[in-house]
Amino acid sequence: MYDFCKETMTGTSGIITGVCVAHDHATVDEITTAGAEKQCEDVRRLLRKSGVREAFALHTCNRTEAYVVTNDPEMGKNALRDIAPNVRDTAVRYLDHDQSLEHLLRVAAGLESMVVGEDQILGQVRDAYEEAQNAGGIGPMFEQAVTKAIHVGERARAETKINDGIVSVGSAAAKFASEEVKLTEATATVVGAGDMAELTAKALEVRGISELKLTNRTPERAEDLARHLEVSCNIIPLSAITSHLPETDIVITSTASSEPLLTDTEFADAGQTIVIDIAQPRDVKPSVDKYEHVTVYDLDALESVTEATQEQRQAAANKVETIVDDELDQLLEQFKRKRADQVIQAMYEGAEEIKEEELQNAIQQAETAGELTDDQKQALEAMADALMNRLLAAPTKSLRDAAAEDDWNTIHTAIELFNPNWDGNNPPQGHKSMSRGHHSGTNASSAEFPHGQHPPSKQGD
């Protein structure tokens, strides 16, 4: 039966498999090690793998994830093995079809973020979707899955207070800094000028930072960021940062550099300095922490800062969980209906061929006694159509119920009875979809397929 079910996943459907290296079970270095330098590179690389029809990747400070659409889960898992080849096994999670869909919805909703409900992740999912689309990775399945995730993220923030309080890693870094240094009497330098740097700078501004310096490899971007702030900013060249560090109390780094920008050399003569590195990969070499006058924190250290916010948002998170569950049920049901429609179309195609053959035989036999009029032929055709539709009405309902209940024995038997020659690869396109029922989704099984072979229902769309 499993081979049959894999066949029915071909064509316009498929099975989603995912891999995740994230902050809740991996270190910053492990997240950095996973995946290509850019998420679009992962998409292109995965599309070159045998059997991969669609691909999607998401890289953030807290996670490196990739997903593929294939004909069976083992093929998908094999395609994803190169994403984290050098990461310890316990830090890598493989997700089956239902788990992948649920995880994408939870990520966009902010439930999987280090700071629960943070807003930046939703924009990152949108950006990843556009990059995957430009790389040719978005097909019918990810079009439906990722846009559903974005919709869920929007609902979560519009209908609950999950993003109240600290809403980003940048604001968490600012709060962390405020617990280490009195900001109203401190000077902070923000390294970087991207979205995270902007969130950090604004969070420092809100918390009353006395003096703010901005530096970036491209000075124009730092100047543009300064225009979005009300606090007075001093723009300094990145090449001159060493001379400014002795008068800096806090350094928060957030760039997209693939190599550390700040090393032991820059901090050798710095004064007492708190360094918070929220970049991924790291902007600051860990060895900088050897100096007694410098204390370096990274993303892992922010966990303690976010605990209070997570407690405050728990009630909202519970509401978001309900939104995710409802939307996941709808998404799984939509995929199931597609699957049922594909099988039903095959059944109708087989019946249509038989009907047409017998109709022509009946017309030929009737015309031996004289030529039939157009009205008489139409009457015979109408009768044949009515008979076929009435005979298939009950099997159609049974097939929809079977798909909703994951009853593949019934579906397999129906295919053999009504269209034994169909190979599952080219479902007919002419037959219109039947009316659709409703059934809530299935429970996702555990990660990394630890319990052996999964039933096809947990892996199909």
Active site residues: 61
Amino acid at 302: L
425 contacts 332 by C-beta, under 8 angstroms:
no
Q: Which of 58, 65, 172 is nearest to 121 (CA)?
A: 58
Strand partners, 17: 68
Distance CA 87, CA 31 (A): 8
- CB 347: neighbour CB atoms within 10 A? 22
Q: Measuring CA to CA, which residue among 60, 15, 39 is closest to residue 129?
A: 39
Residue 285 in contact with residue 307, Cβ under 8 Å? no
Say if CB 201 and CB 278 are below 8 A apart: no
Residue at 44: amino acid letter = R
Asked if residues 117 and 167 have their Cβ atoms less than 8 Å apart, the reply is: yes
User: Minimal CA–CA distance to 66: which of 17, 116, 120, 14?
Assistant: 17
Q: Which two three-digit tokens encode residue 83?
A: 């994403």
Matching residue, tokens 């099988």: 343
Q: Kindly provide the residue ranges of all beta strands, DSSP E only, lying in 206-272, ordered along the sequence.
A: 211-216, 233-237, 250-253
Q: Are strands 250-253 and 187-191 parallel, antiparallel or unpaired?
A: parallel
The secondary element (H helix, E strand) that includes residue 275 is strand 273-277
User: How many Cα neighbours within 13 Å face the side chain of 154?
Assistant: 7
